[in-house]
Chain A
Amino acid sequence: MATIETAGIVKRFGAVEALSGVDLVVERGELFGLIGPDGGGKSTLLRVLATLIPADSGKVVIEGLDAGRDYREIRSLVGYMPSRFSLYPDLTVEENLKLFAALFRVPAGDNYSLAGGILEHLLPFRKRRAAALSGGMKQKLALCCALVHEPSVLLLDEPTTGIDPVSRDELWRILGRLKRRGVAIVVSTPYMDEARLCDRVALVMQGRFLDAGTPGEIVERHGRETWAARADGMSRLLVDLRSSPLVESCHAFGDQHHVTPSPGASIERLREEMTARGHRVEIREIVPGIEDCFIRVASAHTA
C-alpha cells in the first residue's frame, strides 16, 4: 500500500477549477516534487492532501485512511508546512515548539527523533521570538513544528522560498534524512535545481499533472536539442538570437543563453550569423535540464 494515493481529485473555487483530476501515488520514503507555474494548483493540492480543504470529487487516501471520512486520524499522521510563515511571531522558539506539541498531544521534550538534527541548530535561540529569526532559521523552526508529532507524511509548500542557497542546501539535507527514515514527502518548489533532488517530480499546470516521473525521465521526454551561447553583450545577444530564423526559442540562463534550434539549424550557421551581427559568440551543445523542460512545457501551454 502506498502512503499517499489519490485518484481524480477535483477542486473548484467558485467558477475556477483549481484541480482538474489529479492522480498521485507516493510511497513510503519517497521524495516527490511539485513544479509548475504560479497558480497551477500546487498549493491547492497540498492543502487537499493535508485535509485542510476537502476535494469536490475524487479519492484521497493517506496511510489507508480516507480523507473525507478519517481526516482526524490523517491529521495526526501528516505534517504540513504552508508557504507563508505561519508560526506565532510573538512566541519564542521554545514556546512555538511547546504549543505545537500540545496541539498534537505529544510530550514537549527536546527529543523528537525526526526533528533531532534541526533542533540542535535551534537550541541556541530557544528564547528568541520567532519574528526575530533569520529566514533560514524560521523555516527550520516551521519544519520542526511540522515534525513534533513524528508524522509519516510531510507536505511542504515552497519551504525554500526566500532562503539563501546555503540554508537551502541544509534544508534539503534534512529532507534527505527524513526520507531515509521512511517519511513520504511531497514538496513544491520554484527552484528547478531542487527538482533534481527529488525521486520523482510532477509538472503541475492548469490543475493537472502534465507529466510525472524521475527527473531523468522528465528530461528524456521533454528535453530537446539545446545549445548554450555566450558573448560580451548578453542582452543584445538575446534579442538577436530570438530574431534569428535558426532559433526556435531562446532564454537567459545565468551567464549564458539557452537556445532551442529550429529544425535543420546547425551551430556553425548560427555562429556565422551572430558573428555577422557583430557578436564574438561562443556556442556549444549542452544537455538540457529540468528548467529547460519546464520553460518549454509551460510556454507551450500558455501560448
Chain B
Amino acid sequence: MKAIETEALTKRFGNFTAVDSISFDVKRGEIFGFLGANGAGKTTAMRVLCGLSKPTSGRAIVAGHDVAARPERVKRRIGYMSQRFSLYEGLKVWENIRLYAGIYGARSADIRERSDALLRELDFEEGRDKLVRSLPTGWKQKLAFSVAIFHEPEIVFLDEPTGGVDPVARRQFWELIYKAADRGITVFVTTHYMDEAEYCDRVSIMVDGKIAALDSPRGLKEQFRATTMDEVFRILARGDDARAL
C-alpha cells in the first residue's frame, strides 16, 4: 500500500489555481522531497494532504484515508511539523512533550516513560526543564520533530524543518529523519537546501502549481544533464519571481 496517492489533486482560491491537477504516489517508508520555488504551491498542497484544507477537485488518499471525506482520520495518522510553528515557546521542554502526547491520545502512564526515553535518545536530558524559548533553533527543531512522531504516525510532514538552521544542526536533524524512516515512518519534506534534496529517496519539483519533475535525485540529474540538484532546481524553477506568485 502507498503512503500517499493523489489523482488530479487541485486546489483553487477564487480564480487562482494554487495546486493544478497533481498526480503522484509516495511509497511507504520513503523519504520524499517536495521542492519548489516560493509560491509554487508546496504549502497549499501539503495542507490539503494533511486534511487541513479541502481539495477543490481530484483525490488524495493519505495513510489509507481520503483527505476530503475523512480528514479527521488522516490527521490522527500523520505527524506535522512546520518551520514557523512547532512548540509552545512559553512551556518547558517536558511540558511540550506531555501536551502533544496528550493531544494525540497517549496514556499519561506511558507519557512519562516515553518522554524520558525521547530525551535520552536525543541526548538532551539536561534540557528537560528548560523553556523552549531559551533553546537554539537547531534544538527546537529536533525536539519538534521528535514530538511530531511521538505518536508513531504512518507519515510525517515536514515543512522546511531546517530553515535557518546551521550546517551542523541540519545534519543532526537529517540523522533523525533517517532514523524515523528506518522505523518505517514515511517522511514528506520540503526544503530550500539543495544538498538536502540529495538525501531524499525521490524528489518532486513543483512549478506554478504543477509537478514539473519527479524522480530519484540521480534520475533527475541524468534527465536534466545536471551535476547537482541545485542545477536541476534552477533549470526548472527559473522564470521570473512574478510568475511564481
Contacts and interface: CB of A to CB of B under 8 A. Distances in A.
Interface of A: 35-39, 83, 121, 124-125, 133-137, 158, 161-168, 170, 190-192, 234-235, 251-255, 291, 294-295, 298-299, 302
Nearest to A85: B84
Contacts, number: 114
Contacts of B39: 134-137
From A35, A133, A162, A299, name the one whose CB has the most chain B CB atoms within 10 angstroms.
Answer: A162
Nearest to B230: A165
Interface string B122-165: 00000000000001111100000000000000000000100111
A92 B228 CA distance: 38
A295 B236 CA distance: 31
A252 B241 contact: no
Given A39-B135, A134-B244, 17 more contacts: A36-B166, A38-B164, A83-B164, A133-B245, A134-B245, A161-B163, A162-B38, A162-B163, A164-B192, A165-B194, A165-B233, A190-B170, A235-B178, A254-B198, A295-B167, A298-B166, A298-B167
A121 B241 contact: yes
Contacts of B234: 165-166
Closest 5 CB pairs of A and B: A134-B39, A39-B136, A135-B38, A254-B195, A38-B136
11 contacts: A164-B36, A167-B37, A170-B241, A252-B174, A254-B199, A255-B198, A255-B228, A294-B166, A294-B168, A295-B171, A298-B168
Which of A121, A136, A192 has the most C-beta atoms of chain B within 10 angstroms of its own C-beta?
A: A136
B229 interface: yes
Contacts of A291: 167
Contacts of B233: 164-166
B194 A37 contact: no
A254 B174 CA distance: 11
Contacts of A252: 171, 174, 195, 199
Contacts of A251: 171
Contact of B160 (A39, A137, A162, A302): A162
Q: Pick from B174, B218, B242 the residue with the most CB of A within 10 Å.
A: B242
Interface string B188-215: 0000111101110000000000000000
Nearest to B218: A255
Interface in B75-107: 83
A162 B165 CA distance: 11
A135 B40 CA distance: 10
Contacts of A234: 199
A133 B245 CA distance: 7
A199 to B, nearest CB: 21
